[in-house]
């Protein structure tokens, strides 16, 4: 039995790039979808919040000097593109997914409606949240913390390229060690760049634990869901 019945998985757009400079790497997105499928088969209800950095990176040069709010809305549209790609890959792998957007694009995806999202989760569908919070100046980390709290997730999982939170950058400092657990206050005091400050505060206030792990380690998501020693747990 999984340790968590309902999870909120935060995927960065960059995680979809694989070794590419930007865009979506087909092999990478298929592998991630199969990892998600594995935990749904255990009986875990999965909601996903996805970023848009991989798409936005391709147009970043043109955004220099742009109004911040306008650039953020462009980023929201990028998350919708990623969410559609993720849901379509899930469909091809035999899963049922629903994309819900915080910004209104009714001809393409459903608008975010909390009771409907909860219903989908209870029916065993994967719900992919796009459009961030629907507001500029807020990151998709904050959107993940918000949706995790709204969905009643037992834990928020932040999938990264690093297998946890370290005392220093492990790529630059070979002596850096991984924290097995941290409190939110410790992470803030140590200035550990795990989430932005708004997302941190929301997780702490809502008592929503956070697990940081590497989505690039085969089977890591399953080990996290099963309660194994994987990544770093940040808690109240």
Residue 57 marked ligand-binding: yes
Residue 13 marked ligand-binding: yes
Rg (CA), the chain: 17
Residue 10 marked ligand-binding: yes
Q: How far is CA 157 from CA 28, 96, 113, in A?
A: 18, 21, 22
Residue 167 marked ligand-binding: no
Residue 16 marked ligand-binding: no
Question: Could you say which DSSP state residue 51 is in?
Answer: -
Query: CA geometry: angle at 92 spanning 89 and 93, to 5°?
Result: 90
Q: Assess contact for 22 and 59: CB atoms under 8 A.
A: no
Residue 166 marked ligand-binding: yes
Report residue 198 CA to chain centroid gap: 16
Residue 53 marked ligand-binding: yes
Residue 11 marked ligand-binding: yes
Residue 12 marked ligand-binding: yes
Residue 70 marked ligand-binding: no
Residue 139 marked ligand-binding: yes
Residue 137 marked ligand-binding: yes
**Alpha-helix residue ranges (DSSP H) falling in 4-113:** 26-40, 53-56, 68-92
Residue 133 marked ligand-binding: yes
Residue 135 marked ligand-binding: yes
Residue 142 marked ligand-binding: no
- Binding site residue list for ATP: 10-13, 53, 57, 160, 166, 169
- Binding site residue list: 10-13, 52-53, 57, 72, 133-140, 160, 166, 169
- Binding site residue list for UMP: 52, 72, 133-140
């Amino acid at each position: 039995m999984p340790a968590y019945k309902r999870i909120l998985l935060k995927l960065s757009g960059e995680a979809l790039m694989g070794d590419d400079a930007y865009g979506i790497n087909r092999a990478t997105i298929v592998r991630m979808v199969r990892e998600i499928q594995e935990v749904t088969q255990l009986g875990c209800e999965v909601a996903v919040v996805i970023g848009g950095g991989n798409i936005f990176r391709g147009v970043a040069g043109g955004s220099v000097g742009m109004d911040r709010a306008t650039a953020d809305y462009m980023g929201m549209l990028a998350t919708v593109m990623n969410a559609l790609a993720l849901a379509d890959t899930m469909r091809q792998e035999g899963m049922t997914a629903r994309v819900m957007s915080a910004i209104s694009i009714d001809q393409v995806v459903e608008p975010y409606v909390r009771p409907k999202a909860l219903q989908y989760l209870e029916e065993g569908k994967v719900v992919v949240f796009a459009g961030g919070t629907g507001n500029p100046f807020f990151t998709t980390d904050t959107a993940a913390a918000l949706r995790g709290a709204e969905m009643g997730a037992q834990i928020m999982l932040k999938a990264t390229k690093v297998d946890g939170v370290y005392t220093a950058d492990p790529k630059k400092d070979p002596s850096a060690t991984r924290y097995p657990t941290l409190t939110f206050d410790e992470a803030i005091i140590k200035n550990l760049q795990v989430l932005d400050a708004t997302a941190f505060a929301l997780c702490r206030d809502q008592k929503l634990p956070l697990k940081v792990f590497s989505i690039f380690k085969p089977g890591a998501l399953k080990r996290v869901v099963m309660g194994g020693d994987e990544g770093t747990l940040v808690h109240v």
